[in-house]
Amino acid sequence: DPKIIQKPKYLVAVTGSEKILICEQYLGHNAMYWYRQSAKKPLEFMFSYSYQKLMDNQTASSRFQPQSSKKNHLDLQITALKPDDSATYFCASSQDWDWGGVTLYFGAGTRLSVL
Amino acid sequence: TQTVSQSDAHVTVFEGDSVELRCNYSYGGSIYLSWYIQHHGHGLQFLLKYYSGNPVVQGVNGFEAEFSKSDSSFHLRKASVHWSDSAVYFCAVSPGGSSGNKLIFGIGTLLSVKP
């Protein structure tokens, strides 16, 4: 059974709309992350959270807002969607936020297409 | 700025062959190096990691990787591949310290194993 659940698996949105990507982890981990994989580009770090607190934000746009209602949840709200936001968004977790070399566990991703 | 280069976009081998997937990085300080595997339609899974000590590290399913400081490389190897090893392989680096949780990934190498 998958231990990191991302919903939905596929998502189609129109330009200008807003969507929420869901992530729940059942590994008992204390740190969670969002990564984005656009076509022909490497996975790109977006956010890291530890005990529901934002630790690092590498996303320039405020249109991307993580939301953590519980320690094992880290949703991603994206507003004013643009075609360039089309990508696969991966949620990940690690046992703890650490000072280096964390081992990440990934969900299967949400593939977002913005028309 | 750390960068990760995976020079081979696609590698094709036959079952039972050995394989080496190349990874080169650029970073001046201490770093953690890791490899992840992504089967089609799934999230990334951790294979192995290196920080210090023996430059050859063993991972799951018979994979190993060798760190070379002089070549700035961390190549992944397997002596005898199986068809189930067909996947995309990602090399990643992370610096120590406060940015240690931010993995920087290469573009990935697609390994195709023919029967």
pLDDT score recorded for residue A64:
96
Say which of A45, A99, A109 has its CB closest to residue B43: A109
Beta bridge partners of A76: A21, A66
Nearest to A33 by CA among B87, B94, B76: B94
Model confidence at B98: pLDDT above 70: no
Query: Which chain A residue is nearest to residue B32, measuring alpha carbons?
Result: A101
pLDDT-derived band of residue A2, with 50, 70 and 90 as boundaries?
A: confident
Asked if B114 has any chain A CB less than 8 Å from its own CB, the reply is no
Per-residue pLDDT at A9 exceeds 80: yes
For B13-30, what is the mean pLDDT? 92
The answer to whether residue B15 scores a pLDDT higher than 90 is yes
Residue B31 confidence (pLDDT) above 80 = yes
Task: Give the mean model confidence (pLDDT) for residues A101-115.
Answer: 93
Q: How confident is the model at residue B94 (pLDDT cuts 50, 70, 90)?
A: confident
Q: Does B32 touch chain A (CB under 8 A)?
A: yes
CA distance B64 to B77: 5
State the best of A104, A105, A110 to mutate against chain B, taking most chain B CBs within 10 Å. Answer: A104
Judge: A98–B100 Cβ closer than 8 Å, yes or no. yes
Three-state helix/strand/coil letters over A32-57: EEEEEECCCCCCEEEEEEECCEEEEE
- The answer to whether B13 contacts chain A (CB < 8 Å) is no
Query: Mean pLDDT in chain B?
Result: 92
Pairwise CB contact (< 8 Å): B101 & A33:
yes
Q: Among partner residues B49, B96, B107, which is closest to A103 by beta-carbon distance?
A: B49
> Over the range A23-35, which residues count as b (16 or more CB within 10 Å of their CB) and which as e?
bbbeeebbbbbbb
Question: Lowest mean pLDDT: which of B15-19, B26-30, B41-45?
Answer: B26-30
Contact flag A42-B41 (C-beta cutoff 8 Å): no
Among partner residues B32, B103, B106, which is closest to A45 by beta-carbon distance?
B103
Residue B100's pLDDT is what?
66
Mean pLDDT of B49-72: 93
Share of chain B above pLDDT 70, in %: 95
Exposed (0-12), middle (13-18) or buried (19+): which is B21, by Cβ within 10 Å?
A: buried
For chain A, what is the mean pLDDT? 92
User: What is the rounded distance in angstroms from the CA atom of residue A14 to the CA atom of residue B115?
Assistant: 43
Residue B81 reports pLDDT greater than 80: yes
Any idea which of A29-33, A55-59, B23-27, B74-78 has the lowest mean pLDDT?
A55-59
Q: What percent of chain A is modeled with pLDDT above 90? A: 76
- B1: tokens are 């700025």
Q: Tens digit of pLDDT for each residue in A69-82?
A: 998 999 999 999 99
Report the SS3 class of residue B26.
strand
Chain B contact present for A27, CB below 8 A? no
Measured distance CA(B52)–CA(B38) in Å, rounded = 25
